[in-house]
Amino acid sequence: MTRYPGRSIVAQRQRLAHAQPRTRPHSRRWIALLFGLVALIAAGVPAGTAQASPPPDANAHKYLGTWNYDQPDPATMRNIAVLSCPPPGDSCASGPLPLPLHIPQIGNIVFSAAANGKVVGRTDQGCTWTFAVTTGSLELSPPGQSCFNHTIGSAYTLTRWSVTVAGNHEQETIIGISHQPTGDLVTTMHHGARTRVSGVGGFPAMARFLGAWTYDPASPQTFVNMLVTVPSGAGVPSVSPVQGEVRVTSEHYGAIAARTADGCVWTLAVQGNTAELDPATQSCQLATGTVRVLFWAAASDGDHQHVVMAGTKELNGQQSTFYLYIGALTKQ
């Protein structure tokens, strides 16, 4: 990630796109549906070539920098995206999913000045959006910007994205459409909230993550802690619960090490309330083969973590891709 030492998260997402095995179109359909807006702003349009930017005007300046989503809160719907059927709400195909589906939002965005006087927002998963600077807000400009996430083979169109800032706190409203083979779904987030961050996270930030963590009980009804595994070739995707413990220790300044139940150790860089895989691609050799993690983002308040993860497995001669899009852990 460009905000941390090491490789960029954009490069990581590109690796993930190339690393995934091909699946039959029908195998992709319900996976894309599940992740229709797993991170509403995280659909994967590769970042364009950077251009020289003029000095930002006074209205734009307050938006520039790196912003993390605050801890999602289902009680208030803060940073909870909702994936649902379009009106009247009973005519869309949901597949195996419980709709409406509530999806916690984590991760960050970097706002920077664009050469045309606008502001560009680039997410940690590699999607780039353009905003106009108004007197009181940033507004998606033009409306109806689309992106295609090569990781899950799904396209998205955002019709509205409004951003306001007061000091180091930011508020968002996002409305969009998830384009699926079975029809379009509506995606909304009315109570987005972020906090500005700068520099590598020191001990106060790292302390949010340290200790022993246990996955919350998995729920097919909400898709919390349900791992999706997609075999290579013509295999049929499967869903299974994620269980067990993750132990997190300090690695070095600004970094943590997470030991999973299989004995693998993964390193993440910390900035504010958010930790992300660093370096971008990591592998663990097991007796039966290799596990590779290609994306791992976590947001913690010290007691609870929200997690998004993706990677590949080559175990017992079989290759597959796995996704955990609504992960939740509680500190022991």
**What pLDDT score was predicted for residue 224?**
98
CA 73 to chain centroid, in Å, comes to 16
- Residue with structure tokens 């299989």? 262
Handedness of CA 265, 324, 200, 17 (dihedral sign): positive
Contact predicate 276/256, CB 8 Å: no
Q: Pick 9-50+57-197's CATH classification: 3.90.550, 2.60.120, 2.40.128, 3.40.30.
A: 2.40.128
* 212 close to 332: Cβ distance less than 8 angstroms: yes
CA distance 89 to 186: 10
pTM above 0.85, yes or no: no
Q: What is the CA radius of gyration of the chain?
A: 19
CA distance 101 to 85: 10
* CB within 8 Å of 211: residues ≥ 6 apart: 247, 248, 331, 332
Residue 91: the pLDDT is 66
Q: Which pLDDT score, from 0 to 100, does residue 211 have?
A: 98
Q: Are 248 and 213 in contact (CB under 8 A)?
A: yes
Q: How far apart are CA 75 and CA 174, in angstroms?
A: 19
> Which stretches in the chain have pLDDT values below 70?
1-58, 89-91, 93-96, 149-154, 181
Domain boundaries, the chain: 9-50+57-197, 203-331
CATH (residue range 203-331)? 2.40.128
Domain 9-50+57-197 and domain 203-331 have a common topology: yes
